Each structure stands twice: as C-alpha cells, then as structure tokens.
Chains A and B, each alone.
Chain A
Amino acid sequence: MLSFIYYIREFLRPKWITTFFTARTPPLTTPPYFRDFPELTDKECTHCLACMMICPAPEAIIVTQHEGVWRPEITKGHCIRCGLCIEACPEDVLASGRILAYKKEEELTLQGTFHIEINQSTCMGCGNCSVACPVNREIDPALRSSGTSTSDEVIMRIDTGQNKVLHEEKCTGCKTCEDNCSNKAIRVARVVEALQGGEE
C-alpha cells in the first residue's frame, strides 16, 4: 500500500511529467570536424584547376572568373563531400572540417599524371585526337588533318594507320581528344599519387 502511494507521488511530480512527455535527444548540431561542402578561404585561387582534375563527381566543381578573380564553385547536388579538392589545392583556397589541419600536419600533396589508353580495335586512325590535342598543336604547328607528324616530341601521332602514343607525360588531362573521337576509342585516365611528408 505504501509503495502505491509512493509510486503515485513519484509519477505526479511535474518534472517527471514534463520529461516524460517532452523527451528529446540533445540538439542535433553538426560537429565542427564534419567534412561538409568545401568553403572558400580568403586565399587567392591561381586557376591551376587541380581541384577540377581530382574531382570524382561530374560537374561538381568548376573554377569561374568573377570580376577578374578566379574562384572555385561547388555545385550542391553534384558534390559528394569527399574532400579531395581541398587536399589537391596547392594554395589552400578551399577548407572543410579538419582536412586543412591534417594536410598541413602530414605535409600531404597530390600529384597527378595522365594515362592515355587507345582501344586499337575501334580506333580508325582518323587522327582527330592528334589534331585536336592543344599540346600537340603547340609542339608541332604543322600537324594537319591526317594526324601524321614528323616530330617525335608530340604526345601522339598517326603512324602506319594506327594512333601511337609517344609522350604520355606531356598530357594535361583536358580530354579534348575524348570529345573529338567519333568512336570513343580514346580514354584519358587520371593517375594520382598521394605523397606524405613533403617531397621525397
């Protein structure tokens, strides 16, 4: 009997009633270390496009010019918040969560090279890629519609009806060749190397 009275008294306490009916988990705040969409710092963007090169999601980051100042723009709905653009940026233009802190601590740098792959069974040897390549044009301005070249310094050239890659390391990853290939036979792949502890 005494316990009944005790329970009734316990459950009629205003504090117990209010906590029972208005129970809430603690306010849902985003922790400061959360890797959110990258935000701009006040550092100056040098238009090196390292962020666009590293970005795994299509159309997620684009470097645009506003009143003479270059700056990267993140598109929400495309960005997957992986933070690679922050790691890749040599000028620390972007920031998010703890990425800049550990990038500095570990002296993290990303280096990218490009690998050109040509599917020889679909390549017609038309030479569109060799002619369209802006680096090729710079090295050998005489490169003409057939894609053949007398220069050995070009990235790729048509040789005996097949496209041959000579200097892969000169590729800048613009993918103009991919856009100009009618058979989608050429693919440019990015090969990224992460270095810790400064230059080896």
Chain B
Amino acid sequence: MSMLQYLKNTVRSRSIHVAYVNVGSCNGCDIEILACLSPRYDIEQYGIYVHNNPREADVLLITGAFSSQWEDKLKPLWDKIPHPKVAVAIGNCPISGCVFNRPETLVDPPVSKHIPIAAEIPGCPPRPTEIISTILSLAPIIFKDYEETKK
C-alpha cells in the first residue's frame, strides 16, 4: 500500500460526510437521525458530519417508503454523489414499506428497486445507536483502499 493510500484511508476513516433524504417517511426516523447529532450520541466525535448536500456526501441515509413523487428524483440525486459512496436504508419503510405497504396506497417499497442499498437498519424507528454503529461498521468496508479495490 502506497503512502498516499494510507493517508487517504486515515482521512476517510475520520471524515464521513452524510446526507439524508426523506422519500415519504413519517418523520420518526428523521428524528432519530437528528438525535444522533445531540450530545447524548454526538456523531461528530466519530468524524461523521451532516451536510445534507449530495455533492459532498459519502453516505446517503434514506428514510421513508418511497412515495411516487420520488420516482424521477432519487436516481439523479444518487448520481450526484461522488464515488466512493454508499446508501443506507433507515427503518422499516425503505426495506418493506411496513405499515404503509397496504393495498391501494401509493408507496413503492423497497427503495433497493431504485438505487443500490448497501445496508438496511430495521426498526420503527431504529435507535440512534444502531444508526451510528451501522455507519461506523460500513465505512471501513466501503472506503478503505477504495482506489485499489474498485478495479
């Protein structure tokens, strides 16, 4: 491993930028993401920063059961994120639609039909601890030695 790669790994492990997008959630999971920022959980001590700008994001957190308005919007948003990138589905809704996935509703779960999802966090909503530990365990798999393993 070159020195440059080592430097990149070190920096990337302490600088994970997060954007979150609500594709038709009840806001329960968004509040749990918000709770991660609070002093009780404090994601910035792990080097995770929330900018909510896809152009500088590494991790995209998706909440919600995919309402039809997002059909033509989620894929362009995913394409805007520079590589290396990863999408995490938060809560039951992006996984299965959960209680919203009933006959004659307009939701279209799972979100993995539309963009590739790397990890799913079940729960309605999941604990902030589960969200943080998922991002932290996923980041080394995706970002470590990215330039060498992408070929």
Contact = CB atoms under 8 A, between A and B. Distances in A.
Nearest to A59: B96
A77 B92 contact: yes
B62 interface: no
A189 to B, nearest CB: 14
A43 interface: no
Given A24-B45, A58-B101, A58-B102, A77 B127 contact: no
Nearest to B103: A184
Interface in A76-98: 76-81
Given A57-B98, A81-B123, A81-B124, A28 B41 contact: yes
B86 interface: no
A191 interface: no
Contacts of B56: none
Contacts of A76: 122
A173 interface: no
B40 interface: yes
Interface in A42-91: 56-59, 75-81
A80 B99 contact: yes
A74 to B, nearest CB: 10
B2 interface: no
A126 B90 CA distance: 45
A77 B41 contact: no
Task: Please classify the interface of chain A as helix (H, G, I), strand (E, B), loop, or mixed, using the class held by over half of its residues.
Answer: loop
Contact of A79 (B103, B120, B122, B132): B122
A23 interface: yes
B129 A28 contact: yes
B99 A77 contact: no
A78 B92 contact: yes
Contacts of B92: 57, 77-80
Nearest to B99: A57
Given A28-B41, A28-B132, A28-B133, A56 B99 contact: yes
Contacts of A78: 92, 95-96, 98
A25 interface: yes
A34 B130 CA distance: 13
B147 interface: no
Contact of A77 (B40, B122, B132, B133): B122
Nearest to B133: A28
Contacts of B96: 59, 75, 77-78
B42 interface: yes
Contacts of B124: 57, 79-81
Interface of A: 23-25, 28, 30, 34, 37, 56-59, 75-81, 184
Q: List the 4 closest pairs (A to B, CB-CB), nearest first.
A: A80-B124, A77-B95, A76-B122, A28-B129
Given A28-B41, A79-B92, A81-B123, 14 more contacts: A25-B40, A25-B41, A25-B45, A28-B129, A34-B127, A58-B98, A58-B99, A76-B122, A77-B92, A77-B95, A78-B96, A80-B92, A80-B123, A80-B124
